[in-house]
Structure 1
Amino acid sequence: MRGEASRIADRVSRDSMAPRLRDTREEAWRIGNELFSVTNVLDNNIRLERALTDPSRPVEDKVALLDRLIGGQSHEMTMEILTDLVGRKWSRVSDIANAVEDFGVDGMMYYADATDATLQVSIELAELHSALLNLPVVRSGLGDPKVPSQARVELARRLLEGRGLNKVTYRLAEHAACNPRNRRYLTTIQWLINKFSRHMGESMVTVTTAAPLTQEQIEKLIALYTRKLGRPVHINSVVDPSVIGGMRIQHGDEVTDNTVVAQLQQLQRLVQA
C-alpha cells in the first residue's frame, strides 16, 4: 500500500504528465522502454532511490543526478516525467520506482493506441494469463527471484516464441519476467490486464472452453457480466481442448472453473486425501 504522500504525488504527476505522454503517440514505445529500464535501475539501487526522494535535497540536485544518469541519451519526455517525479514527496523511497513503472506501462498503452493495437494487446495478455494457469512450473520459474534475471527472460521468450504476439504484449511479458518486483508473474500479468481494461473503459472476461463459443453464448455472457459488473465487458474466448468440457471464466482475480479437467483434478485430490 502506498502512503498518502505517494498517492498524492502519483495522482498529481499522472494528471500533469500522462496527457503529454499520450501525445507522443508512436514515440511512446521508446519512452516506455526507457522508463522500464529506469525502474530496473532504481529497484537495484536503494542509494539512488534515496537520493532522488530525499525531501531535504534540493530538486535541482536531483535533476542534475538524473541528467548524469540518462541525460543526452533518453527521450526528452522520459526526462520530463522523471524530473516531475523527483520533485514530488514520497511516503517510501521505493514508491518512486512504482510510479516510474506505471508511466512505463502507460507509454506502452499509448503506443498501442497509436497503432490501433490496444484491444489486441489486452486479449493477448488475457490469453497468456489463461495459458499460464495450466503451467505452474513455468510461471513459478518466470517469477522466481532466485533465478537470474536473464534466465527468466529467456524462459519468457521461449514461452512467447511463435505465438505471433504484438510487440507491446511481448515487451510487457518480458518486463514482468525481467523484474518481478516482489510480485508473482501471474499477478503482474493480471495487473496489466486490469490497467488495459480500465484504459479502454471496459472489463475483460476470459472464457476458456474446449470448443469455440457460439455467438448466442457470447451475447449471454456479455449481458450477464455487464449486469454483474455494472460496466461494459469484452468476452475473450479462448479455445483449449485440454479442458475437455465446461467453462473456466476469469474476471480480474476471480476464477470460476467448471471445466471437466478441473473436476477430474478435484476428484484426484479427494482420492489421494
Structure 2
Amino acid sequence: MQHIASRQALEASTARLLQDAANLDDDGLGALGDELRSVGSLLLREVPLRRTLSEATLSLETREGILTRVLQGKVGDRTLALVRFALGQTWSNGRDLQTGVTRLGRTAMFLRAERTGTIDEVEDQMFRFSRIVDASPELSVVLDDPTVDPQARGSLITRLLGERADPLVTSMVVGLAQDTAGRSVTHGLRELVDQAADRRDKVVATVKSAVAFTPDQVRRLTAALNRIYGSEVSVHLEVEPGLVGGVRVQVGDEVIDGSIAGRLDSLRRTLAGS
C-alpha cells in the first residue's frame, strides 16, 4: 500500500479493530477475522462494487447504503460496523480499500494467535512454507497460475500442510492461494510473515548461513540485529551450503552479505568492470 492517505485509513481502521477486539472472546475474534477476509475477497472479485464504493462523486451515505444492502445478513453486526467505518476513511482507490479490509481480517486472526500464545509458531510456519514454495518451481507455477481453479489451489494447500500446520496457518494460506490479488503466492506469504511480525512491533530478518547456528549464536545474532535496526527483529534461519562460509542477512530490501560466496561474487563483478 503505497499511498499515504490509504496508509492513514488503514491505521485508523486498525485502531478501531483493536478497540472492538477488547470486547471479544477468542471465538468472536476468529469469526470477525473470517468475515472481514470474506468481505475482502468479495471486493476483490466484484470490481464494479469496489469501484462504486470508492467513487468520490457519491456521498458517503449513499456508499454506506450500498455496502449495507450487500452485506446485511451475510456478516455479523460488528463486522458490518467495522467495514462501514473503514469505508468512511479516505482511501486512494478501491484496490487499497479491498487490501485494507483483507489486512484487517488478518490482523484479527493474528490477535487471536497472540492471545493463545501461538503467534511465534504461526509466523515461523508461514516462513518455512514460503521457503518450500520458493524451492519448488513446479509448485509455484501451479499456485500462481490464474487458469487453475481457486478451490483446487486451496485444496492443494490443505493437502500439503495437512495436520502438521497450525489451523490458522492453513486457513490463511488457503485464503491467499484462492485470492492472490494478481500477485505471486510467494509475495503474499512474505506479506503474511511481515504482518505477523508487525503485530509484535518486530521486523523480519532472513538469515542464510552455510552451516546451522548454535542457540548461543542465534541469541548473539538476534541481539546484534536488534541494535542495528533499533527494534526487535524476528530472525528466520536457513542453511545454504552454497554460501561456503559467513552469513547473508536480508531485512526488507536491504541485504548484508558477509558470505564468502557473496564476497567472491562482488570481487568477480569488480574485476569484470575493470
Same fold by TM-score greater than 0.5: yes
The yes-or-no answer on 1:197 pairing with 2:173 is: no
Give 2:232's aligned amino acid.
P
Point out the more displaced range, 168-177 or 229-238: 229-238
User: 1:21 is matched with which residue?
Assistant: 21
**Matched ranges for 1:56-95 at <5 A:** 56-95=57-96
CA displacement at 1:42 relative to structure 2: 1.0
Distance (Å, rounded) in 2 between the aligned partners of 1:101 and 1:40 = 7
CA displacement at 1:13 relative to structure 2: 2.6
| Structure 2 alignment gaps of length 5 or more | 265-274
Point out the more displaced range, 78-87 or 22-31: 22-31
TM-aligned CA distance change 1:173 to 1:252, over 3 Å: farther
TM-aligned CA distance change 1:142 to 1:114, over 3 Å: same
Aligned partners of 1:127 and 1:238 also within 8 Å: no
Aligned partners of 1:207 and 1:249 also within 8 Å: yes
Point out the more displaced range, 210-219 or 108-117: 210-219
Distance (Å, rounded) in 2 between the aligned partners of 1:254 and 1:167 = 32
The yes-or-no answer on 1:107 pairing with 2:108 is: yes
Distance (Å, rounded) in 2 between the aligned partners of 1:7 and 1:222 = 29
User: 2:270 is matched with which residue?
Assistant: none
Distance (Å, rounded) in 2 between the aligned partners of 1:4 and 1:208 = 34
Question: Per-residue CA shift, 1:174-209, capped at 9, x if unaligned?
Answer: 111011112111111111111111211223334466
Q: Identity of paired residues, percent?
A: 24
Question: Per-residue CA shift, 1:58-117, capped at 9, x if unaligned?
Answer: 333333323322223322221111111222333212221011111011111111122221
- Output the TM-score relative to the length of structure 2: 0.81
User: 2:147 is matched with which residue?
Assistant: 146
RMSD of equivalent CA atoms: 2.9
User: 1:45 is matched with which residue?
Assistant: 46
Distance (Å, rounded) in 1 between the aligned partners of 2:217 and 2:142 = 36
Aligned partners of 2:16 and 2:82 also within 8 Å: no
SS in structure 1 of the partner of residue 199 of structure 2: helix
| Structure 1 alignment gaps of length 5 or more | 264-273
- Output the TM-score relative to the length of structure 1: 0.81
SS in structure 1 of the partner of residue 82 of structure 2: helix
User: 1:225 is matched with which residue?
Assistant: 225
TM-aligned CA distance change 1:87 to 1:235, over 3 Å: closer
SS in structure 2 of the partner of residue 200 of structure 1: coil
Distance (Å, rounded) in 2 between the aligned partners of 1:17 and 1:220 = 36
The yes-or-no answer on 1:169 pairing with 2:156 is: no
Distance (Å, rounded) in 1 between the aligned partners of 2:260 and 2:202 = 26
